[in-house]
Amino acid sequence: KKDKEEKEKKEKEEKEKKEKEEKEKKEKEEKEKKEKEEKDKEEKEKKEKEEKDKDKKEDDEEAEMKK
């Protein structure tokens, strides 16, 4: 009888350990996904700003030439 209890306890612990690992893995993936989205957003904003600056520079140059 004791062996059975030991076995069940061990199986329960294994199961809990596995679930915990799964949970941690999922959380890590979520975190990485979020970080990647943040990074992509920053890249996009940086690109847009550069485009804007470029357009502005061209407008300024055109204005200079018109003078």
| Three-state SS at 55 | helix
Task: Extract the tokens encoding 28.
Answer: 């890590």
What CA–CA distance (Å, rounded) separates 3 from 57? 80
DSSP class of 1:
-
67 pLDDT above the threshold of 80? no
pLDDT in tens, 20-61: 999 999 999 999 999 999 999 999 999 999 999 999 999 999
Q: Would the pTM count as exceeding 0.85?
A: no
Residues of the domain holding 9: 1-66
- Structural domain count, the chain: 1
CA distance 56 to 64: 12
pLDDT at 15: 98
